[in-house]
Amino acid sequence: MIADNAVGVIVTRLRTRPELLFAGLAVALGLARGLNFLVFLWILKPDGFSVMTDRLPYWDFTNLWGGTLMALRGHVTYLFDAEAYRHEIRLLLSPLMPDQEWSYPPSMLLIGIPFAGLPIFIAYILWILGTLLLLFLATKPLGLAWWARIFIVASPAAIVNVLVGQNGALTTALLLSGLLLAPGRPIIAGILFGLLTVKPQLGVLVPFCLLASGNYRAILSAGVTALFLVIVTGLLFGFDVWLLFWTETRPLMTSILEAPFSYGYQVNATTFFILTRSLGLGLTASYSLQMVASVVAIATTLWLWRSSTVIEHRSKVCLTILLTLIATPYGYSYDTIPMNVAAAYFFFNYRGLLAPLGAAWLYPLYNQQVARQLAPLGAVVLAALAACVLVRILRDRCSPGADMATTAEESRATASSAQPARSDGSCPSAG
């Protein structure tokens, strides 16, 4: 509690009142728009709950719940047959269910097992609360005050996750915690990275982080954990599920990714690949631009994580989770919780950057509107924020005086927030 109070004092001293008002306005706008979506789209009426999904808890969680239930009932092959899967999930939930597909590695079924035996609405509530709690806990090592971490849990991207029952809070918690723990606790970090293979596109930069830093213990731990998931999944559901994932699920998701831009589900996208497709360009041009973005993200990551690169670890981690979203061709607005985490961290630790931080904070809730009226510009927002932060970090590295002034100011803030010592030199209990 003392540490949290100290951080709160530091924030108010390092930020001017207009800057704090700007941040408060951004948070308020995000909450207002997010709550408007929740009230409009998720309201209980006599004919059901969600107008967005024909009165059912929305999209991705119905896949996790329904797909796992099918597998536990002995129908795991339905997950790899789109028509059989859609037919069965309509039998489980409602004939009005829109078309859906199972899009995950079979190991995701292990995460769904605790929820599949529950009624779907109860399971959905537990899923949302549980994953948001993990996100809240994962942000603690960032050194932010508890109330700042609450804002992250209620951030625009997190609200999008609640709306669609997605796993962004879980995957962000795994990625963030793994990167933060990697230097000091490589085995635990590796376990978290291994668990992240349930959504592998969000771990695309992890191998480069670990290789650049020479963290071979984390690499070994991640490999063992991933292999463990493969074996356990195979023992429970049959090892054929991995072959079917490769021959059926992977091509299906590739075809969805490569489909011509149609202002359907693609308006949720936040990648350079989909941005290029929205401009009417072909697959070659789209993959080429995405490859350039990915290579730049990888090169920056390798530089960040070299042992000779002196950048504060939490800043390095928050920049890396931004770069992750830039590097993957398969990313959507519900995957952008890392962007909100990074925006919060950099606001509390670096002066300036208000415009890119504010835009990045709010963008997940405006992504669809911008995509329909202009183009899916999420990748541009991500790249702009990453570039601004990187320039600021490099500038601070070249200005030792600024760092010394900041350190001195933080020290004064911490000292002034500490409780006075007793005459015997001990400190009062925090209670």
Neighbours of 393 (CB within 10 A): 18
> Considering the chain, what percentage of its residues have pLDDT values greater than 70?
85
Spatial separation of the C-alpha atoms in residues 103 and 199, rounded to whole Å: 10
Give the pLDDT score at 163: 85
Give the pLDDT score at 262: 84
Whether the predicted pLDDT of 170 surpasses 90: yes
Spatial separation of the C-alpha atoms in residues 83 and 81, rounded to whole Å: 6
For residues 143 and 39, the model is more confident at: 143
* 234-245 pLDDT, tens digit each: 999 999 999 999
Residue-number span of the structural domain to which 82 is assigned: 15-256+265-412
- Give the range among 84-98, 114-128, 209-223, 393-407 with minimum mean pLDDT: 393-407
The reply to whether 73 falls in a domain is: yes
Give the pLDDT score at 419: 42
The reply to whether 428 falls in a domain is: no
Q: Residues with Cβ < 8 Å from 112, sequence gap 6 or more? A: 64, 65, 67, 68
Give the pLDDT score at 269: 93
Give the pLDDT score at 46: 58
Confidence class for position 47, pLDDT limits 50, 70, 90: low
Averaged pLDDT score across all residues of the chain: 86
- 10 Å CB burial of residue 103 (0-12, 13-18, 19+) is middle
Closest CA relative to residue 127, chosen from 57, 37, 27: 57
Q: How many domains does the chain have?
A: 1
Spatial separation of the C-alpha atoms in residues 271 and 382, rounded to whole Å: 9
Confidence class for position 120, pLDDT limits 50, 70, 90: confident
Average pLDDT over residues 343-350: 93
Spatial separation of the C-alpha atoms in residues 217 and 201, rounded to whole Å: 22
Whether the predicted pLDDT of 412 surpasses 60: no
The three-state (H, E, C) secondary structure of 187-206, written as one string: HHHHHHHHHHHHCHHHHCCH
- pTM (2 decimals)? 0.88
Whether the predicted pLDDT of 414 surpasses 80: no
The reply to whether 6 falls in a domain is: no
Contact 29, 362 (CB under 8 A): yes
Give the pLDDT score at 427: 38
Closest CA relative to residue 57, chosen from 131, 136, 122, 138: 122
Closest CA relative to residue 249, chosen from 113, 107, 90, 106: 106
For residues 418 and 87, the model is more confident at: 87
The angle at the Cα of 185, spanning 181 to 189, to the nearest 5 degrees, equals 55
The reply to whether 4 falls in a domain is: no
The reply to whether 245 falls in a domain is: yes
Whether the predicted pLDDT of 402 surpasses 50: no
Contact 390, 299 (CB under 8 A): no
* 351-383 pLDDT, tens digit each: 888 999 999 999 999 999 999 999 999 999 999
Whether the predicted pLDDT of 420 surpasses 80: no
Average pLDDT over residues 411-424: 39
Confidence class for position 55, pLDDT limits 50, 70, 90: low
Whether the predicted pLDDT of 57 surpasses 80: no
The three-state (H, E, C) secondary structure of the chain, written as one string: CHHHHHHHHHHHHHCCHHHHHHHHHHHHHHHHHHHHHHHHHEEEECCEEEHHHCCCCCHHHHHHHHHHHHHHCCCHHHHHCHHHHHHHHHHHCCCCCCCCCCCCCCCHHHHHHHHHCCCHHHHHHHHHHHHHHHHHHHCHHHCCCHHHHHHHHCCHHHHHHHHHCCCHHHHHHHHHHHHHHCCCCHHHHHHHHHHHHHCHHHHCCHHHHHHHCCCHHHHHHHHHHHHHHHHHHHHHHCCHHHHHHHHHHHHHHHHHHHCCCCCCHHHHECCHHHHHHHCCCCHHHHHHHHHHHHHHHHHHHHHHHCCCCCCCHHHHHHHHHHHHHHHCCCCEHHHCHHHHHHHHHHHHHCCCCHHHHHHHHHHHHHHHHHHHHCCCCHHHHHHHHHHHHHHHHHHHHCCHHHHHHHHHHHHHHHHHHCCCCCCCCCCCCCC
- Give the range among 92-106, 131-145, 215-229 with minimum mean pLDDT: 92-106
Contact 146, 137 (CB under 8 A): no
The reply to whether 7 falls in a domain is: no
Whether the predicted pLDDT of 26 surpasses 80: yes
